Chain A
Amino acid sequence: MPVETPPRIPFRKRPAPKNPESRWRTISQERIYGQRLLEAIKHARNSSQPSRISSSRTIKEAADSALALTAKGQTRWSRAILSRRWQKRKLWLKAGGKIRRCSGTRRLEKPAPSLSLSAAPQPRKKTAEKVGDRLRVLGRLVPGCRKLSTASLLEEAADYMAALEMQVKAMRTLADLLSATTLDSTVESRTT
């Protein structure tokens, strides 16, 4: 299965936005994503040096990229993920692999933005401000959607949520299978 990884994703005028439910919840999509996920993990395993400590992040990035690829670049967050990945790759190539990984800390790694802090200084915030705060937080959560209008932000968030659900389902299946296999093998190795 060919995996398309273009160095730059051409921005076309977006076709009619599809229903996130129909896009992400079909079995065929899951299948496609699963294949991509496998390839990505394989690739990550092979290419990344074993000395790298946070291989979990490699896998996570691979999974995210696979997810973004499955989105076919129709959504903003998918484009943001893919462009982030390619930027990182370019950096690595330029520096000859000397860039430390922690330079690419994602905002997601930060402690989750808490709403209580923002509400503390003014206990009596108007409802509109609260909504605005939360919209900003949501914009930070969805990749590539910080400065986006409310309507498009909500749309991107819906698509992103559906995609994340599928990703979690796929990864959980994979992890369960693998861990079950591992357990079995270890048990057998002990008994034999």
Chain B
Amino acid sequence: MGAGNNGEFGLEQRNLDCQSFGVSPQFEKVGEMTMNSDSFFVTSWDPIVSMVEDIGCKGSMGSHHQTDLAPYDVGMLGSPSHLVEYPSGAGFGKLTQRWEGSDHGMPNLEHRPISDDRNVGSSPTGNKRKRMPESHTIDSPSQLDSIQKDVPHAATESSKERDEKKQKSEQNPSASTRKLTSKQARDHSKNGDSPNEDYIHVRARRGQATNSHSLAERVRREKISERMKFLQDLVPGCNKITGKAVMLDEIINYVQSLQRQVEFLSMKLAAVNPELNFNIERILSKEILYSQGGGSAVLGFCHGMNTSHPDLNAPIQGAIQSEMGICSIENSRNMLKATNSQFSAMAQIPNVWDGELQGIVQMGFGFNIPPDSHELHGRMKAEL
């Protein structure tokens, strides 16, 4: 094992000896991440220590959510030069993790660079999970690798961070502004935490502010404008409207009108309801079955319409079939056959209202009734 605790830990001097890292760095601010090693190796990193005690020099630190270091150990260990490079450029934005100068040596070695990386990975995103190239000068590709690798793991870091990032928890594939910063991040996120990867990686566009707040704001605004555009498509006649206020006006008017229509129609249905009871039989005997396309929908309706209506009046069937020649639409034939078979299982007289309703809807539903239906010889009528 190494030579024991070194008070100074220039990272240049770092060796893979476990005990050389007697003191762990304390990462406080971005600006302090220089190679002045004293600032680094200060105090304890409790989680690491506890983990180390549990597991010893193993790579898997799954027990602690903050130190999900498993895959990186070997990789990190293998490249000390790697360690040398990355702190120089990387901003350790909001790192509050502490390192512990531990006697355990090797595990420390494993963890610290990894946690560094992880912190680094989390820091560029800070609370926002974004890459801010200006604020982090990443010198080497290996640094980038390490940082990118951390991204998916940082995702599983802490629930606290996750709460902070909840505002962007949607990963909307359709949004074009969300870009992963590198292929490696994408790959790793797929390998590692694809079910957990909710975060949106946004790259600051050229000429735009890179403050984390403004980036979040922009993401939010784009989400909202995307939804407004969708609403615009939904509301008829709003193609030319620009501006949120006017658009919202139209939306509100449309929703109100729809609701009023529902009320009106429900009143109408309530009014129509009781009257039909009296004239059911007559209707049954005289109504004509009529259909105009949408046969598949009606067929489906027929099949779905399975109620406790055993009988069918024979004359109705006769009426249906006689009228079939009149309304010679191909769909209707198929439909009528189906409905006939259905009808044969229907229509108790007492429950005729219900059956009629279903018959009516069978016929009429799924396609529009022409408003001038009165003029037609056959109409959409209930057939029971």
Contacts and interface: CB of A to CB of B under 8 A. Distances in A.
Q: Per DSSP, are chain A's interface residues mostly helix, strand or loop, or mixed?
A: helix
B262 A60 contact: yes
A177 B255 contact: no
B345 interface: no
Contacts, number: 202
Interface string B160-199: 0000000000000000000000000000000000000000
Contact of B268 (A158, A175, A180, A181): A175
A115 interface: yes
A170 interface: yes
**Interface size band for A:** 35 or more
A165 B276 contact: no
A167 B249 CA distance: 22
B357 interface: yes
B255 A160 contact: yes
B361 A161 contact: no
A110 to B, nearest CB: 11
B373 A63 contact: no
Interface residues of B, number: 69
Interface in B288-343: 294, 296-297, 300-301, 304-306
A157 B259 CA distance: 13
B364 interface: yes
A162 B234 contact: yes
B272 A182 contact: yes
Contacts of A165: 258
Contacts of B223: 151
A112 B256 contact: yes
Nearest to B368: A173
Interface string A97-123: 000000000001000100100000000
B252 interface: yes
A189 interface: yes
A161 B272 contact: no
B365 A34 contact: yes
A103 B145 CA distance: 64
Given A63-B262, A141-B255, A178 B269 contact: yes
A59 B379 CA distance: 25
Nearest to A58: B270
Contacts of B262: 60, 63-64, 164, 167-168, 171
A33 to B, nearest CB: 10
B263 interface: yes
Nearest to B268: A175
Interface in B206-261: 220, 223-224, 227-228, 230-231, 233-235, 244-245, 248-249, 251-252, 254-256, 258-259, 261
B18 interface: no
B270 A59 contact: yes
A28 B275 CA distance: 30
A159 B228 CA distance: 13
B363 A172 contact: no
A134 interface: yes
A20 interface: yes
B382 interface: yes
A55 B254 contact: no
Contact of B356 (A130, A170, A181): A181
B266 A60 contact: yes
Nearest to B231: A158
B305 A35 contact: yes
Given A141-B259, A185-B279, A34 B361 contact: yes
Contact of A182 (B231, B263, B275, B373): B275
Contacts of A27: 294, 296-297, 300, 366
Contact of A154 (B231, B258, B275, B300): B231
Contacts of A172: 261, 265
21 contacts: A21-B233, A27-B300, A30-B297, A31-B301, A35-B304, A38-B361, A42-B354, A56-B271, A59-B267, A142-B255, A161-B235, A171-B266, A173-B364, A173-B365, A176-B380, A179-B272, A180-B374, A181-B360, A182-B276, A185-B278, A189-B279
**7 nearest interchain CB pairs?**
A185-B279, A60-B266, A134-B248, A154-B227, A56-B267, A171-B265, A164-B258
Given A28-B300, A168-B258, 13 more contacts: A38-B357, A59-B266, A112-B256, A131-B245, A141-B255, A161-B231, A173-B369, A175-B268, A176-B373, A177-B361, A177-B364, A181-B276, A182-B272
